[in-house]
Chains A and B, each alone.
Chain A
Amino acid sequence: MIAVQVQNAPFDPGQLTNRVHDGNPSIGALVCFTGYVRDLNLQHDVQGLFLEHFPGMTEKALQQIAKQAAQRWPLQAVHILHRIGQLAPAEPIVFVAAASAHRQDAFEACAFIMDYLKTRAPFWKKEFTATGSHWVEGRDSDQQAAARWNQPPSENS
């Protein structure tokens, strides 16, 4: 039920969504997130992106994140795909699907996986602009987003 892919090739989010659901009629809710390469970041015109990763650790880290989600919520399926190498603006870069019987578990699991992926999976983005290239800096807001999953659930949730 857990599938992890790391690849350079582009992907079709619609096709992936259907594949996660196919043959599993017990899935009542499927939440999918697709991240795309933007053409603008910090006021620079981004012409392309290079995704470096840590071969050997990347798939293992994504598997661990998917397993943690499956331990935390009753999930029928988890699918994580992350692209590496050279990417162009408007291309999809990451896909996360979480399938469950009910929507709340699927929504939360999908958000959890993305928050953990952004702070615990060994990927680094380098942006190429008209004036040169630079490594994207890690953001505190991403760290805070991931940290909220360490808090005990609030009483009114």
Chain B
Amino acid sequence: MIDVLFFARYREVLATDRLSLNWQDHWQSVADVRSHLIARGEPWTVLDDPTMMCALNEDMCSLDTAVRPGDNLAFFPMVTGG
């Protein structure tokens, strides 16, 4: 399993703030998990966003960061605090 969290605009468009996905053996990076979700079609294509940010286990990461079963992954739009 891998837990995936969504924030802000993504959370609203997807109408969910988290889900657990069954682990797929071919997954290697954050990009693979994202592709799996985008392949579901609307509204998951919201994640097909060149400015998307992500965090793995509560640290900022990039699409090529390696993922493992049990990880906590988060997808969110560009941050706008301050």
Q: Which residues of A contact B (CB under 8 A)?
A: 35, 51-54, 56-57, 60-61, 82, 93-94, 114, 117-126, 135-138
Q: How many residues of B contact A (CB 8 A)?
A: 17
What is the interface of chain B, defined by CB distance below 8 A to chain A? 5, 7-9, 51, 55, 58-60, 74, 76-82
Complex: chain B residue closest to A116, CB-CB = B82
Q: Which residues of B contact A82 (CB under 8 A)?
A: 81-82
A35 to B80, CA, bound (A): 13
CA distance A125 to B74 in the complex (A): 18
Residue of B nearest to A118 (CB): B82
Give Cα A117–Cα B60 distance, bound, in whole angstroms.
12
| CB nearest neighbor in A for B8 | A124
Q: Which residues of B contact A119 (CB under 8 A)?
A: 79
Seed contacts A54-B76, A60-B59; 9 additional CB < 8 Å A-B pairs: A117-B81, A122-B55, A122-B81, A124-B8, A124-B9, A124-B77, A125-B80, A135-B9, A138-B77
